[in-house]
Amino acid sequence: MAETIDFFLNGELVSVQCPENETLLYLLRERVGLRSVKEGCGVGECGACTVLLEGRAVNACLLAAGKVRGRRVTTIEGLSPKGRLHPLQEGFLLMGAVQCGFCTPGLILAAHSLLEENPHPSREAIVQGLAGNLCRCTGYHDIIRAVKWAAKRMPERE
Ligand code: FES
Ligand code: FES
C-alpha cells in the first residue's frame, strides 16, 4: 500500500507516494528520477547505489523507503548545489579517477562520509573506507589519490 514519505532530499523537503518497504534506490531512481544513484548488484555488494543518510554512506538498495521519513538524504547532486564542483568531484577529475563513471557518484559519497569521520585519512583508512564500493575500471590508485587531494581542500565541517 502506498504511503506518503516526507524527507529532505539534497536540502529540499520532498513528499513521495510509495510503499514503505520499497527500496530507497527505486524511490530515488524511478519515482524522483535521480539516475545518478546507480543500480549495480541490488544486494549491498557493489556500492554503486551509495547515498548519504544524515551524512553517513548507506546502500540505497538495502534501505526501505520508509526509513528515510523525516531524515536527510544526499545524492551526488547535493554536493554541488550551486553548480560548483565539490573538492571530491574536482579531485576525481584531476586525478583521472573517473573512467566509465558508473561507480563514481557512490564512491564520491562514500569518500565524503569517510572524510566527515576522518578528515585526514591514511592510505589504509581510505582503502578501508571505500572497501564497499567496487570499480571495474580504474584500479583504485587514482581514486585514492583523488580522496587524498580532496582531503587537503575540504573545510573541516561543511
Ligand atoms: S546496487 Fe546497492 S550495493 Fe550494489
Ligand atoms: S569508473 Fe567504471 S566502474 Fe569505476
Binding-site residues, ligand 2, Cβ < 6 A = 98-103, 135-138
**Total structural domains within the chain:** 2
Place of cell 584531476: 94
Cα–Cα nearest to 44, from 123, 131, 143: 131
The boundaries of the domain holding residue 107 are 87-151
Q: Are 55 and 116 in contact (CB under 8 A)?
A: yes
Residue at 158 is within a domain: no
Most informative mutation of 24, 37, 49 for ligand 1 (most atoms within 8 A of CB)? 49
pLDDT of the residue at 158: 47
Residues 59 and 102 in one domain: no
What's the pLDDT band for 88 if we cut at 50, 70, 90? very high
Per-residue pLDDT averaged across 50-73, rounded? 98
Residues 107 and 67 in one domain: no
Give the tens place of pLDDT for each residue, 101-151: 999 999 999 999 999 999 999 999 999 999 999 999 999 999 999 999 999
Of the ranges 7-11, 55-59, 77-81, 95-99, which one carries the lowest mean pLDDT score?
A: 77-81
Residues 106 and 66 in one domain: no
Residues 7 and 71 in one domain: yes
Angle (CA) 31 36 40, round 5°? 90
Residue 76 pLDDT > 90: yes
